[in-house]
Amino acid sequence: MCGINGFNFNNPELILRMNRVIQHRGPDQTDFWCGENISLGHDRLSIIDLSERGSQPMWDEKKEFAIVFNGEIYNFLELRKDLENKYNFCSQSDTEVILYAYREWGNECVKKFNGIFAFAIWDCLKNELFIARDRMGVKPLYYYHDGKRFVFSSEIKALLEHNIPREVNREAFNLYFQLLYIPEPNTMFQGIKKLPAASYLELGHEGELKITKYWQVNDFTNYGSYDETKQTIKKLFRDSIKRQLISDRPVGVFLSGGIDSSAILGAVNEFHGGKVKTFSVGFKDSQDSEKFNADFFLAKKTAAYYNTDHHELLIEPEDIKNNIEKIVWHLDEPNFNPTSGAIFLLSKLAKEKVAVVLGGDGGDELFGGYPLYYYSYIISLFQKMPRVLRYLVKCGIEVAGKDGLAEKLSLPPDAERVAAFLAQKNNFLTRVLNKDIYKPDLALQHINEKYFNGTRPMDDFEKQFMNFDRQSWLVDESLVRTDKMTMAFGLEERVPILDYRLVELASRIPTKWKLNILQSPKNFQGKAIWRKAVRDYLPEHILNEQKRGWFTPMAKWIRKELKDTVADVLSPRNLNSEYFNAIGVKKVWEDHLSGERYNLNIIWAMVMWQLWYNRFMK
């Protein structure tokens, strides 16, 4: 795992500056190469083939192609066997396999890779640049193109070494506050874009740019056999773990205490020689220790069960206060999620022991782990009932005081239902955002145009819902947050549940196999078939645990220990009056302080945006 940089002109001093800005991603070595119409830079985090032969930029033996690569190709040994009879390899690295795969299969090479990657290949013969990003979007790639200059990097801050106008992207601003993430290809910087997941970019010799989607999930037909599907899940999961343990440096596991990371640890334990190093984070002196540290305590029990070399970190408000500026800088863009600080500090600890960690990302989106899928499934079943029965059920829900659910019962199976569950309320945002800036319908328009426009709703709508989450917030909020926080310390995180073969399989599993409709919402677990498939890797104390989100005590901390910090950021003298309504912000802040309302998400979203603006725009 590394950092990559480049642009379409020759400037050694500028490419070195870009390298220096993101050297935290690759602390082991930095290097560059400049040609007539290209500059390529690389910061190396050595994971496979630690020798000088694995250094980058790397050339093929004919000196016709040069590559800079960030990521890991887990099936590189199989691909190498296919290529060895035609090409002479001089390293043991997966980077060289990409290089010769491109020589052999051209753009189609990306379809052969099982891995996480962002790489750029310069074709000296054609004076053309080829850039690709992995199927799931685990590794980020940003670029700027003004028709003449083309600049790319693993992180936005390196692009800013160029004379790029610093302007807020107002569309991204609206989407951030409505969805609490910034959907690709937008970034919060006007003119700077993300290369979408599962896409490659071609830059021609005259500066023409073309982006192609090379993979997407299209097959949602239901599997017929429950038992065969369950066995296939376990087989693919086990194979993914085995592949992703490949490394010439120590590998550990981020152990949250939930089903997914526990299953990963159980499978790793099967293949790993010696004690597995595990890492967990909790919250110190929390008033509600059981609520915020429930998974932390479970992780401790799971670590003891597998006899791991377990490392724990307890963080407190002062840790967030002391590191918030660093977190903002490493994130590149505003991120509303208060768990960023916990991941940041845990990554610092983990890097002292290992160079690679495996994490449990993706299980909820693939196998139905979020309660919102359960509620949407209830709505879908309700809408298929006879009219009289629907009337009686709705009356019962209203009598029970569940007016919010009753209102959602009529939501159609399309973008409107997704937005109703995921988007922030319009009347709430109207209070805090300036009316000249706020575009209230933008989130719904975005969801509809990108994911639903022109497509007939599936009979099993919750499949569509999960697929939306996997392509959207998982990539643009969760995975990018984890990448920036881990790579801040040159720590590589791998995500075995997001092996693309498991993603394709999960899309064909009926929702009724994932969600137990007989459970009450209070006892919601989700991921029913996933739990059974990985049963052999789960300790008994994990099996019947209900689904919990990973919460921090931030809502309480900003009422007490971090109150002055947040109040200062949101004060009229510091808050950007062009974008925010100071009176509305004050009311939202005071309502949270008094306990009248839980406003953490919008408050932390504003705090992180304003700190981002101060750091990158002022």
Tokens linked to 543 = 């099996």
Tokens linked to 96 = 């060289």
Q: How far apart are CA 457 and CA 414, in angstroms?
A: 6
Q: How far apart are CA 277 and CA 255, in angstroms?
A: 10
Residue 289's φ and ψ, nearest 5 degrees, are: -60, -40
Distant-in-sequence, close-in-space partners of 336: CB < 8 Å, separation ≥ 6: 176, 180, 181, 601, 604, 605, 608
Q: How far apart are CA 295 and CA 31, in angstroms?
A: 42
Q: Which candidate, 244, 265, 242, 268, places its Cα nearest to that of 255?
A: 265
Q: How far apart are CA 256 and CA 296, in angstroms?
A: 6
Residue type at 167 in one-letter notation: E
Distant-in-sequence, close-in-space partners of 271: CB < 8 Å, separation ≥ 6: 241, 242, 245
Q: How far apart are CA 493 and CA 254, in angstroms?
A: 9
Distant-in-sequence, close-in-space partners of 206: CB < 8 Å, separation ≥ 6: none
Catalytic residues: 2
The region, left, alpha or beta by phi > 0 then psi within -120 to 50, assigned to residue 429 is: alpha
Question: CA geometry: angle at 143 spanning 99 and 578, to 5°?
Answer: 160
Q: Which candidate, 135, 122, 156, places its Cα nearest to that of 39?
A: 122
CB 280 within 8 A of CB 301: no
Distant-in-sequence, close-in-space partners of 192: CB < 8 Å, separation ≥ 6: 142, 143, 144, 156, 159, 164
Residue whose token pair is 């209230």: 440
